[in-house]
């Protein structure tokens, strides 16, 4: 990292305590623009494959017959299967539940909290007297895959209402969580994905945080199945030997809110395949 990049990074860290979300976002993107000048904003939707040409070739070959196709089909079947009361997911999700992944998480003024799409799905189920689905994999990931597929190409567009102080507080909590060190290895999210983005950890390149929420749910070759964003974040906590948060807890929903806002303007391209 050259002197300019280091200075910008220090500016990010010193500024995060007082910056507005829009200022955070501008500095965040500016850091990556200088670090990876060859990339456009759209490129970040491809994660580490935007940086690793060899891995990108293999990934593109896999994407010709993607392993998540079955999950999309299963999700569509689940989505169109009526509840016991003959209602559907389309009856309680915006836009009938289609092409909405890029708008989540969102701030719900009625509930006064951050609502992720996974949480919205389970709230819809509860409203229709159905049992909630586990949040890390399985049917929830299949439903998210179907909805994500209908959302492809839409630009991430997360709102933090200026007239909702609690929304800003949730965003700030997500930002604090992102930069806070934790676990036996004393890492933060930013340790890997801001400070060391593009560098190797063992045999793998560390991906930039921009676009981290654009490709979910994801079929990870390591998992052998499709899983949710919170499943992956929990895996990160395990790797640094930190206390394991609960999927869809306030902490992880607020973290997703912060990360998604940082990625505004990046095309949504889930579901996807990752190593």
Which tokens is 176 given? 């604090």
Residue 103 structural domain: 1-275
Q: How many domains does the chain have?
A: 1
Strands 106-108 and 113-115: antiparallel
Report the C-alpha gap between 88 and 237 in whole angstroms.
35
Residue 12 confidence (pLDDT):
45
Which tokens is 268 given? 């949504």
Residue 43 confidence (pLDDT):
97
Residue 230 confidence (pLDDT):
98
Strands 200-201 and 204-205: antiparallel
Report the C-alpha gap between 84 and 81 in whole angstroms.
9
Report the C-alpha gap between 219 and 189 in whole angstroms.
21
Residue 7 confidence (pLDDT):
39
Strands 218-220 and 225-227: antiparallel
Catalytic positions:
236
Residue 17 confidence (pLDDT):
55
Report the C-alpha gap between 189 and 25 in whole angstroms.
16
CATH number, domain with residue 89: 1.10.760.10
Task: Give just the sign of the alpha carbon dihedral 160, 166, 172, 175.
Answer: negative
Question: Mean pLDDT per segment of 10 residues, for the chain of length 275 residues?
Answer: 40 57 96 96 96 93 96 98 98 98 97 98 98 98 98 98 95 97 95 92 89 97 97 96 97 98 98 95
Which tokens is 38 given? 């060859």
Q: What's the pTM value of the predicted model, to 2 decimals?
A: 0.91
CB 237 within 8 A of CB 122: no
Q: What angle do CA 169, 147, 158 make, to 5 degrees?
A: 25
Residue 19 confidence (pLDDT):
83
List Cβ neighbours of 71 (8 Å cut-off, separation of 6 or more): 141, 142, 145, 217, 219, 226, 271
């Amino acid at each position: 990292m050259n002197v300019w990049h280091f200075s910008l990074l220090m500016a990010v860290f010193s500024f995060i305590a007082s910056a507005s979300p829009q200022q955070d976002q501008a500095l965040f993107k500016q850091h990556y623009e200088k670090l990876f000048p060859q990339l456009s904003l759209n490129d970040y939707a491809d994660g580490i494959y935007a940086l690793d040409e060899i891995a990108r070739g293999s990934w593109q070959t896999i994407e010709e017959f993607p392993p998540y196709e079955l999950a999309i089909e299963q999700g569509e079947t689940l989505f169109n299967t009526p509840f016991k009361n003959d209602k559907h997911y389309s009856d309680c999700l915006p836009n009938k539940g289609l092409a909405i992944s890029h708008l989540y998480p969102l701030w719900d003024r009625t509930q006064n909290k951050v609502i992720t799409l996974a949480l919205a799905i389970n709230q819809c189920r509860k409203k229709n007297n159905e049992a909630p689905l586990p949040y890390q994999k399985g049917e929830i990931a299949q439903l998210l895959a179907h909805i994500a597929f209908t959302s492809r190409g839409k630009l991430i567009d997360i709102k933090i209402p200026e007239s909702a102080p609690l929304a800003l507080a949730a965003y700030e909590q997500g930002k604090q969580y992102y930069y806070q060190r934790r676990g036996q290895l004393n890492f933060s999210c930013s340790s890997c994905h801001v400070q060391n983005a593009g560098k190797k950890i063992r045999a793998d390149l560390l991906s930039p945080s921009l676009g981290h929420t654009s490709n979910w749910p994801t079929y990870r070759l390591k998992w052998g199945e499709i899983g949710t964003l919170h499943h992956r974040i929990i895996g990160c906590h395990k790797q640094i030997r930190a206390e394991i948060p609960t999927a869809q807890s306030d902490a992880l929903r607020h973290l997703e809110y912060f990360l998604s806002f940082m990625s505004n303007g990046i095309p949504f391209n889930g579901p996807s395949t990752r190593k």
